[in-house]
C-alpha cells in the first residue's frame, strides 16, 4: 500500500501523542510536529510502501525528543495485560483457527493509528470479539502450508498471543523463523521484548527485520540476509498487523514471495478499502 491523505493526517496525529509520552515541552512538540510535517510532505509522493515513510517520521520524532523508545512503559503494560487475558481465555483457544483469532484480537493492542483506540477493558473486549469469529477465514487452507514458516511479529501485547500460536505450530511439526523489529519503533516488539518472553527457546530462529534501524513492516532493502534466506525457503509467511500487510501487499506485486497469511484486525479505513472489507474486521486472509 502507498501512503494517502488519510495516512498523512493519521501520522501527524501520532506525532504529538508520541512526543507527549516523553515530554511536556510544548515548544519542542510544536517544532517536532513541523519537522515531521515537512518531511512527510517531501515524501508524500514517493513510490514506496507507506511503512517506509511512517518509519522515517517515527525515527525523526525519537531524534527530536531524545528518546529512542517513548513507548517502553506502554509496551510493558500491554505485555502484562495480554498475559493475564491469555491465561483467562486459553481454554477457548484449542485449534489453529481459534488461536489465530486470539492473536488477531490481540492485534488491537496497537497505539500507532489515530483511527483506533485500545480498549480499556481488554478482557471483556476480547471475549466480545472472539464470539464474532473471523470475518475472513482461510485458516484451513493455510494450515496445509505450515511446514516452514516465517512469522512476522507486530505489537507488544499481541506478541504474547503470538507466542501461544508459535508453540501450537511447533507442537504440530512446523519449522519457524520469528522476525521482530531491529530497534524500538512505536509499540512494536523488538528482540529485547521477544527474548523476555522466551521466544528464542521456542522458535527455530529469532531474527530482526533490519540491522541497527528502527523500521516498520518489511523493507526489502533493509532485510538481513538470513531473513531473506528464510523467506526464500518458506512454505508460508504469517504476517501480523497492518504495517506488515502494507509492505508485503506492495512487494507481492513485483517480488516472488511464498503464500502469505495475513492475521490482523482492520483498524483503519485505507486498509479496509484496500482489502474490500469493513473496518473492524478480523481477518485470516491467505494470499498466494
Report domain extents, the chain: 5-65, 77-287
**What is the distance between the alpha carbons of residues 240 and 35, in angstroms, rounded to a whole number?**
30
**What is the distance between the alpha carbons of residues 78 and 139, in angstroms, rounded to a whole number?**
26
What are the residues whose beta carbons fall under 8 Å from the beta carbon of 77, sequence distance 6 or more?
A: none
**What is the distance between the alpha carbons of residues 77 and 258, in angstroms, rounded to a whole number?**
35
CATH fold label, 77-287: Rossmann fold (3.40.50)
How many Cβ atoms are within 10 Å of 221's Cβ, its own excluded?
8
The answer to whether 5-65 and 77-287 have equal CATH topology is no
What are the residues whose beta carbons fall under 8 Å from the beta carbon of 246, sequence distance 6 or more?
A: 1, 49, 50, 51, 217, 271
Q: Cell numbers 514506496 correspond to what residue?
A: 48
User: Is the torsion defined by CA of 16, 19, 23, 26 positive or negative?
Assistant: negative
**What is the distance between the alpha carbons of residues 83 and 91, in angstroms, rounded to a whole number?**
14
pLDDT at 6: 86
CATH fold label, 5-65: Helicase, Ruva Protein; domain 3 (1.10.8)
Mind listing the pLDDT tens digit of every residue in the chain (288 residues)? Answer: 888 888 888 899 899 999 999 999 999 999 999 999 999 999 988 889 999 999 999 999 999 999 999 999 999 999 999 999 999 999 999 999 999 999 999 999 876 555 557 777 999 999 999 999 999 999 999 999 999 999 999 999 999 999 999 999 999 999 999 999 999 999 999 999 999 999 999 999 999 999 999 999 999 999 999 999 999 999 999 999 999 999 999 999 889 999 999 999 999 999 999 999 999 999 999 999
Alpha helices in the chain (DSSP H): 5-20, 26-43, 50-65, 72-89, 96-106, 122-132, 139-143, 158-171, 191-196, 225-233, 241-251, 269-275
148-152: strand order across its sheet: 136-137, 282-287, 260-265, 236-240, 148-152, 175-180, 205-208
pLDDT at 110: 74
DSSP state of 179: E
The SS3 call for residue 150 is strand
**What is the distance between the alpha carbons of residues 269 and 6, in angstroms, rounded to a whole number?**
8
pLDDT at 139: 99
Query: Residue 223 corresponds to which cell in the numbers above?
Result: 532485510
pLDDT at 44: 87
Buried b (16+ CB within 10 A) or exposed e, 169-194: beeeebbbbbbbbbbbbbbbbbbebb
CB 271 within 8 A of CB 1: yes
**What is the distance between the alpha carbons of residues 285 and 209, in angstroms, rounded to a whole number?**
22
Amino acid at each position: 500500500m502507498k501512503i494517502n491523505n488519510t495516512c498523512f493526517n493519521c501520522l501527524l496525529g501520532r506525532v504529538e501523542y508520541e512526543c507527549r509520552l516523553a515530554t511536556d515541552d510544548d515548544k519542542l512538540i510544536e517544532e517536532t510536529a513541523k519537522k515531521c510535517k515537512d518531511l512527510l510532505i517531501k515524501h508524500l509522493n514517493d513510490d514506496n510502501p507507506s511503512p517506509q515513510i511512517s518509519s522515517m517520521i517515527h525515527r525523526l520524532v525519537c531524534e527530536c525528543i531524545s528518546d529512542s523508545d517513548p513507548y517502553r512503559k506502554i509496551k510493558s503494560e500491554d505485555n502484562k495485560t495480554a498475559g493475564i487475558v491469555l491465561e483467562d481465555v486459553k481454554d477457548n483457544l484449542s485449534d489453529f483457527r481459534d488461536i489465530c483469532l486470539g492473536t488477531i484480537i490481540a492485534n488491537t493492542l496497537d497505539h500507532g493509528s489515530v483511527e483506533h483506540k485500545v480498549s480499556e477493558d481488554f478482557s471483556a473486549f476480547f471475549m466480545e470479539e472472539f464470539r464474532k469469529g473471523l470475518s475472513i477465514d482461510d485458516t484451513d487452507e493455510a494450515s496445509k502450508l505450515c511446514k516452514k514458516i516465517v512469522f512476522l511479529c507486530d505489537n507488544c501485547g499481541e506478541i504474547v498471543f503470538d507466542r501461544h500460536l508459535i508453540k501450537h505450530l511447533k507442537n504440530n511439526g512446523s519449522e519457524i523463523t520469528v522476525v521482530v523489529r531491529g530497534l524500538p519503533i512505536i509499540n512494536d516488539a523488538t528482540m529485547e521484548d521477544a527474548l523476555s518472553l522466551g521466544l528464542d527457546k521456542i522458535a527455530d530462529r529469532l531474527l530482526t527485520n533490519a540491522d541497527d534501524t528502527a523500521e516498520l513492516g518489511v523493507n526489502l532493502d533493509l532485510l538481513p540476509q538470513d531473513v531473506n534466506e528464510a523467506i526464500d525457503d518458506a512454505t508460508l509467511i504469517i504476517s501480523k498487523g497492518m504495517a506488515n500487510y502494507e509492505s508485503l501487499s506492495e512487494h507481492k506485486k513485483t517480488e516472488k514471495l511464498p503464500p502469505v497469511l495475513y492475521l490482523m484486525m482492520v483498524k483503519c479505513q485505507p486498509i479496509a478499502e484496500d482489502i474490500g472489507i469493513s473496518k473492524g474486521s478480523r481477518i485470516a486472509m491467505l494470499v498466494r
